[in-house]
Structure 1
């Protein structure tokens, strides 16, 4: 406990997002969609990463949604936002996507034109990567996210078990582990996060492992079998549907 003469420690200031849309307009559908999804809860969105082009036309955001903890159980806590401005007409358009992992939000933005090195996470916000394996997997997911389709995710913010599980489908037809599970776990005492990946032959096995992890019954992740000479597909395969499962 501080003595009366000791100064109080500085209070950490949580930054707020600024979409910089003063005097900008959009057609009614875009305007209403933007403000319903990201404009109204703007003061509850924390910018973990953002990048703006020098001409002010394009902005890219990785946002932590502080309202997600009160939403539907398991919903992603992150939002990726790509904002485009027409400086002459003073209009804007945008895209947004809920994402369960920072690397997946970064990947979504990179594949919409954001320079890969410009959307790094603010080290002052959130737990840092615990080890080199985590950093390597995060880097690969950010760069190769368009190689996978997300079929299911669940984010648990229980202080005793802060975990996110994500089931992915590899889009390469010759992938030997066509289904992947990526698991992020936060160590609250060390305040670090680890990210690991496992490979599965069937969607049922991948989803079962996710359910088992959420109930504390999962074994070790099986290793990913590397693909042999996979070529990039021209089309995007449909993500596997999530069967009825456990709610928390």
Structure 2
């Protein structure tokens, strides 16, 4: 990964928030994962290398929205921390970055299966539907990041737990989403993990559709084949040999 270049040479912070944020941002600690530039604006997802020696289980991904004003020689900066890549993308998408412009530009783990792609796509394009209330990164023998969010559009199971797990060999990862009635239930599952992650209703629809499709395929009969025409007598054929048909 390359060091993140915010392109701020000769520029001063445009406001107090930007000044405080930039003073607390050690530029050399950040390595760019994805970046999209539009004129003087940069949308960046970066890995925070300092997270490995910071306080335990701190998030190691950061999203930056940097706007430069060369005419005023100033810049403004906004930043958000995340435990998983899709939520880092979501934050930038909500600030105006096209979702298809945030693909990784470095060698990173690949999604392990179609469900991971589906869950990440839901996160990335969820707008402000999912409100993060807690997150954590576990880095050790098991590498994992999880985020607890509130789904503003679900009244029955509003608390969602998103878990990202890395498989070093092969270099892939999975993301799963569980649904809970409240925050306490999600935390209890995280501590215990003796049962499968409760399935989120968004994916039950797809699973049911697949089951119905499979059942339909099993019960649908093929059109009847035409009966073969009676064979003409052929006494001269060697009847000790059988004719085989490959279907």
Q: Shorter-chain TM-score category?
A: 0.7 to 0.9
1:29 aligns with 2:16: yes
How far the C-alpha of 1:115 sits from its partner, in A, is 1.3
How far the C-alpha of 1:165 sits from its partner, in A, is 1.6
Instruction: Give 1:135's aligned residue.
Output: 117
Cα distance in 2 between the residues matched to 1:36 and 1:58: 20
1:52 aligns with 2:37: yes
Provide closer, same or farther for how the CA distance between residues 180 and 58 of structure 1 changes in structure 2, counting only shifts above 3 A.
Answer: same
Counterparts of 1:3-42 in structure 2, within 5 Å, are 14-27=1-14, 29-38=16-25, 41-42=26-27
Instruction: Give 1:66's aligned residue.
Output: 49
Unpaired segments ≥5 residues, structure 2: 204-247
How far the C-alpha of 1:27 sits from its partner, in A, is 4.4
1:210 aligns with 2:190: yes
Moved over 3 A (4+): none
CA contact (8 A) 2:164 2:173 kept: yes
Provide closer, same or farther for how the CA distance between residues 164 and 36 of structure 1 changes in structure 2, counting only shifts above 3 A.
Answer: same
Other structure's SS at 1:223 match: coil
TM-score (norm 1): 0.77
Cα distance in 2 between the residues matched to 1:125 and 1:46: 12
Unpaired segments ≥5 residues, structure 1: 1-13, 228-248
Instruction: Give 2:151's aligned residue.
Output: 170
TM-score (norm 2): 0.77
Cα distance in 1 between the residues matched to 2:175 and 2:194: 16
Query: Aligned Cα RMSD in Å?
Result: 1.7
- Tell me: higher relative CO, structure 1 or 2? Use CA pairs within 8 A at least 6 residues apart: 1
1:221 aligns with 2:179: no
